[in-house]
C-alpha cells in the first residue's frame, strides 16, 4: 500500500488526481486544501507530517493568479515559495518523496524551439519568479524530488481558460483573443495520468520533467477550438499582446519538450485538441 498526500486537492489537478486515485485500491490517499492545512504555517506543516507518515507528497498547491501576483507579491511568494520550503523541510525529515508542480512561466519566451528541462530559466513575472524560487528551495532540501513543469492547464473544474471561453461563448457574439503567445494547452486529467505513471514506476527518477499535451497553439487557436467543440456561436478575432495589455508579462513562446518524460516513463501523450474534445464533452455533462 502506497500512502500519498495530495495538497491543493480542491484545484484542477487535485480533483483530476482524485478521479484517478480513488479507483486504485493499492493507494491510500489523503487530500488536503487550505481549509485543512495552511501550508505557509511552518509549525502546522511540521505537526501534520509528524502525525502521519506518507510515501509521496504531490504538491498541487499554488498561487496561480498571474496578473494579481504583480500586486500581491508577498502572498504569492508565501504560497509558491515559503509553503514549498515548509513541505520540503518536513519531507526531508521524514524521508518522504515529493512530486511538485511548476510552470512554463519560468522561461522568458524568447526561444523558437521547445524548452528542454536544462534550458536556463528567466521568469518575466512575479508568478514565474516565485515558482522558480519554489523549485530552487525544493531541490536544495529534497534533491531526490521530482518537479513537473506544465503549461496552460485546464479541466472541467475550477477557473480556467476553457471554462471562461465557454461562458463568453454564451454571452457574446464575438471576442478578441491573443494570437502571438504560443504554447500548449494541458488537460489536467492527462497530467494526473502522467503523475500516476510516475508513482507506479518501478524506479524513482528525481529531477525536472516537462509535461503538456502534444502540439502547439496560440491562445487564439485554443479559443477557436473551444468554441468549435462546445458548439458556441461566437466569433473569435485574433489580437496582439499589445492590444490586450496585462499587469504580468507572459512568454511569447513557452512550448515544452516532452522528450525526457516520454522516454523515462514510456508515456504516450495525446494531442491537445483530442484532449480538449474529451474535456468539453465531460464538462457539458456536469
Active site residues: 127
Q: In Å, how far are 123, 205, 252 from 128, measured between CA atoms?
A: 5, 25, 14
DSSP state of 92: H
Q: In Å, how far are 154, 162, 185, 224, 243 from 235, measured between CA atoms?
A: 21, 15, 20, 8, 18
Burial zone of 197 (CB within 10 Å; 0-12 exposed, 13-18 middle, 19+ buried)? middle
* Element at 48 (helix H, strand E): helix 42-50
Say how far residue 72 (Cα) sits from the centre of its chain: 20
DSSP state of 79: I
- Cβ–Cβ < 8 Å for 99, 146: yes
DSSP state of 78: I
- φ, ψ (nearest 5 deg) of residue 51: -90, -5
Q: Which three cell numbers stand for residue 97?
A: 518523496
Nearest by Cα to 3 from 137, 95, 117, 134 = 95
Whole-number Å distance between alpha carbons of 43 and 37: 11
Q: How many CB atoms lie within 10 A of CB 266?
A: 9
Amino acid at each position: 500500500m502506497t500512502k500519498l498526500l495530495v495538497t491543493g486537492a480542491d484545484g484542477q489537478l487535485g480533483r483530476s488526481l482524485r478521479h484517478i486515485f480513488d479507483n486504485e485500491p493499492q493507494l491510500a490517499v489523503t487530500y488536503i486544501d487550505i481549509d485543512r492545512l495552511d501550508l505557509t504555517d511552518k509549525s502546522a506543516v511540521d505537526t501534520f507530517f509528524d502525525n502521519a507518515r506518507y510515501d509521496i507528497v504531490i504538491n498541487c498547491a499554488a498561487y496561480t493568479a498571474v496578473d494579481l501576483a504583480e500586486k500581491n507579491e508577498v502572498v504569492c511568494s508565501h504560497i509558491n515559495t515559503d509553503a514549498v520550503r515548509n513541505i520540503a523541510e518536513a519531507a526531508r525529515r521524514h524521508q518522504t518523496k515529493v512530486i511538485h508542480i511548476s510552470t512554463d512561466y519560468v522561461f522568458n519566451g524568447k526561444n523558437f524551439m521547445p524548452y528542454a528541462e536544462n534550458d536556463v530559466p528567466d521568469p518575466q513575472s512575479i508568478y514565474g519568479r516565485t515558482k522558480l524560487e519554489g523549485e530552487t528551495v525544493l531541490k536544495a532540501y529534497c534533491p531526490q524530488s521530482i518537479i513537473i513543469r506544465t503549461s496552460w492547464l485546464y479541466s472541467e473544474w475550477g477557473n480556467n481558460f476553457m471554462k471562461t471561453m465557454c461562458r463568453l461563448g454564451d454571452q457574446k457574439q464575438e471576442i478578441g483573443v491573443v494570437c502571438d503567445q504560443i504554447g500548449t494547452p494541458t488537460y489536467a486529467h492527462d497530467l494526473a495520468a502522467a503523475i500516476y505513471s510516475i508513482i507506479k514506476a518501478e524506479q524513482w527518477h528525481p529531477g525536472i520533467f516537462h509535461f503538456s499535451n502534444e502540439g502547439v497553439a496560440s491562445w487564439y487557436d485554443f479559443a477557436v477550438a473551444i468554441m468549435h467543440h462546445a458548439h458556441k456561436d461566437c466569433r473569435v478575432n485574433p489580437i496582439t499582446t499589445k492590444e490586450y495589455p496585462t499587469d504580468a508579462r507572459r512568454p511569447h513562446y513557452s512550448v515544452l519538450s516532452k522528450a525526457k518524460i516520454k522516454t523515462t516513463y514510456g508515456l504516450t501523450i495525446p494531442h491537445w485538441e483530442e484532449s480538449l474534445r474529451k474535456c468539453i464533452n465531460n464538462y457539458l455533462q456536469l
